[in-house]
């Protein structure tokens, strides 16, 4: 085919991925913390009645009692705190935030009021405002469970500071780790943040700390494997994964990860063995089939690869990568109509799958569907820079459509950037330009 040498066949390849990335601690539910009563309780008697009802989740009884209490005493911080909880428990976040603000305004030095207000503000995405109250909470004493409460405050502060002030976030996670030295979450959160900063050594240390606390933690081990992969410490990642599989031979996710690691190490045969073992245990595992198909492609075993890719597509009909892999292989096998169908499905499922547009343009042109080829090239250009290959494909497609001015334009662009990379296509471009742009024929001829 004319374009075989120009447009690289972009088959789905196994990339080193850790699979599940470290999941940061989810935003905790705002819970009710009974505020410690002062020596002389100045709250209305309705507050005690409301709290008794709240112990039984009887919010319909508690709410009017608390509203009566704050109407009688607008600075009753305890009543406002309880009312904030009732509103939050009944899914009225805005009213809950307003009530907690009034509780903090009436008595700023209550840990639980600041914490719950900060958590609710963070939940609605107001991180800058949330940080103010969470910082205040970290400097106060919880009514009970002091270490756990402060740990929670520091961790919440770290989450809301991650974008605006990553260093402050890391410092907050460090404080949480000091307070709760047996808690994995501060280490996992810090590691995930460090990973986004590409601070791989520090991220590895945090994941290692988490793994030491819980050697079975999937988040810690997956994160550590991901970092080792980014550092190209494949042997370290391999050791962890083999240990995991030794203790849990049915762990298909770990087996897939090991196959990716072995592939990155150039151990394709061992990677294939792992994937085959996974398929033997679960013959319909589409992810193992997709990985094994890729290994077969790299080994030049197209028939075997196609069989595995078809299994993956059958079991993962909404997975764009599976359709992309099968479509690209079918293009390589010159099964153009079916290849076009699979690649169209891939880009429909994932419109930003840039590489698929390259292959779709090639296969559409081979099917003489030149309009589709141009559409695919235009979509590709939204995500990837033009190359000599795409310029030539543009030119040849316009040429086939008899759109001479556009064909001339793109043949010229191809010649301007190719610099001898594709001499056969340069020859074709010059001779087509001589034919379709004869008034400038002399400038297209190679000077001897």
Q: What is the pLDDT of residues 66-95, one digit of tens each?
A: 999 999 999 999 999 999 999 999 999 999
Write out pLDDT tens, residues 395-422: 999 999 999 999 999 999 999 998 888 9
* Position 13 pLDDT exceeds 50: no
Q: What is the pTM of this model?
A: 0.59
Residue the block writes with tokens 């374009």: 3
Q: CA of 376: how far to CAs of 255, 371, 412, in Å? A: 36, 9, 21
Cα separation, 122 vs 106, whole angstroms: 22
**Domain-embedded: residue 11:** no
Mean pLDDT of 128-135: 94
Compare 441 and 2 and report the one with higher pLDDT: 441
* Position 144 pLDDT exceeds 50: yes
* Position 121 pLDDT exceeds 60: yes
Cα separation, 411 vs 433, whole angstroms: 7
3-class DSSP state of 325: helix
* Position 33 pLDDT exceeds 50: no
Question: Using N-to-C axis directions, what is the helix angle for 320-332 and 286-298, rounded to 10°?
Answer: 30
**Domain-embedded: residue 365:** no
Q: How confident is the model at residue 41 (pLDDT cuts 50, 70, 90)?
A: low
Q: What pLDDT score does 215 carry?
A: 84
Q: What pLDDT score does 40 carry?
A: 46
* Position 188 pLDDT exceeds 90: yes
**Domain-embedded: residue 199:** no
Query: Are the beta carbons of 425 and 414 closer than 8 angstroms?
Result: yes
Cα separation, 131 vs 161, whole angstroms: 7
* Position 50 pLDDT exceeds 90: yes
**Domain-embedded: residue 330:** no
**Domain-embedded: residue 414:** yes
**Domain-embedded: residue 24:** no
Residue the block writes with tokens 């809950």: 96
Give the helix/strand (H/E) hosting 320. Answer: helix 320-332
Cα separation, 359 vs 369, whole angstroms: 13
Write out pLDDT tens, residues 256-302: 777 778 778 888 777 777 777 766 666 667 877 887 888 788 778 89
Q: What pLDDT score does 36 carry?
A: 47
Q: Annotate 190-247 with DSSP letters as a single string.
A: HHHHHHHTT-HHHHHHHHHHHHHH-TT-HHHHHHHHHHHHHTT-HHHHHHHHHHHHHH
- 85-97 residues labelled b (16+ CB within 10 A) or e (exposed): bbbbbeeeeeebb
Mean pLDDT of 317-328: 94
Percent of the chain topping pLDDT 70? 88
**Domain-embedded: residue 327:** no
Cα separation, 395 vs 210, whole angstroms: 56
Q: What pLDDT score does 281 carry?
A: 66
- Give me the domain span that covers residue 440: 385-448
Write out pLDDT tens, residues 239-258: 888 887 777 777 777 777 77
Q: CA of 290: how far to CAs of 137, 276, 286, 297, in Å? A: 50, 11, 6, 11
**Domain-embedded: residue 441:** yes
Lowest mean pLDDT among 359-368, 386-395, 437-446: 437-446
Contacts of residue 396, defined as CB under 8 A and 6 or more positions apart, other chains included, come to 2, 3, 365, 407
Q: What pLDDT score does 340 carry?
A: 96
Cα separation, 233 vs 261, whole angstroms: 10
Q: Number of structural domains, the chain? A: 1
* Position 337 pLDDT exceeds 50: yes
Mean pLDDT of 119-137: 94
Q: How confident is the model at residue 3 (pLDDT cuts 50, 70, 90)?
A: very low
């Amino acid at each position: 085919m004319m374009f075989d040498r120009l447009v690289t066949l972009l088959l789905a390849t196994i990339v080193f991925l850790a699979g599940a990335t470290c999941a940061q601690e989810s935003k905790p539910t705002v819970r009710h913390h009974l505020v410690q009563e002062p020596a002389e309780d100045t709250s209305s008697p309705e507050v005690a009645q409301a709290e008794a009802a709240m112990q039984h989740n009887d919010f319909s009884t508690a709410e009017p009692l608390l509203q009566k209490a704050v109407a009688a005493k607008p600075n009753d911080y305890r009543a406002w705190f309880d009312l904030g909880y009732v509103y939050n428990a009944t899914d009225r976040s805005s009213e809950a935030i307003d009530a907690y603000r009034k509780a903090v305004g009436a008595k700023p030095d209550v840990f639980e009021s600041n914490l719950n207000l900060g958590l609710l503000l963070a939940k609605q995405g107001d991180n800058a405002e949330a940080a103010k109250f969470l910082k205040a909470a970290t400097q106060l004493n919880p009514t009970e469970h002091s270490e756990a409460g402060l740990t929670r405050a520091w961790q919440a502060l770290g989450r809301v500071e991650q974008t605006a002030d990553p260093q402050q976030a890391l410092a907050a996670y460090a404080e949480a780790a000091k307070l709760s030295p047996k808690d994995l979450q501060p280490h996992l959160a810090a590691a995930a943040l460090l990973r986004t900063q590409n601070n791989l050594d520090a991220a590895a240390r945090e994941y290692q700390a988490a793994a030491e606390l819980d050697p079975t933690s999937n988040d810690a081990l997956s994160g550590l494997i991901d970092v080792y992969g980014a550092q190209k410490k494949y042997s370290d990642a391999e050791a962890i994964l083999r240990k995991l599989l030794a203790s849990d031979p049915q762990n298909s996710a770990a087996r897939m990860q090991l196959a990716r690691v072995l592939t990155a190490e150039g151990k394709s045969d061992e990677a294939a063995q792992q994937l085959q073992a996974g398929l033997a245990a679960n013959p319909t595992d589409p992810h193992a089939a997709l990985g094994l198909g890729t290994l077969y492609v790299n080994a030049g075993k197209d028939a075997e690869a196609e069989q595995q890719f078809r299994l993956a597509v059958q079991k993962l009909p909404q997975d764009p990568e599976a359709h992309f892999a099968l479509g690209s292989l079918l293009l390589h096998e010159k099964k153009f109509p079916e290849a076009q169908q699979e690649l169209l499905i891939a880009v429909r499922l994932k419109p930003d799958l840039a590489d698929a547009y390259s292959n779709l343009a090639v296969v559409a042109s081979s099917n003489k569907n030149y309009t589709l080829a141009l559409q695919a090239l235009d979509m590709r250009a939204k995500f990837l820079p033009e190359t000599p290959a795409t310029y030539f494909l543009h030119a040849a497609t316009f040429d086939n459509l008899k759109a001479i001015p556009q064909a001339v334009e793109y043949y010229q662009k191809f010649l301007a950037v190719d610099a001898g990379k594709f001499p056969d296509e340069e020859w074709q471009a010059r001779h087509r330009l001589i034919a379709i742009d004869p008034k400038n024929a002399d400038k297209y001829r190679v000077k001897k």
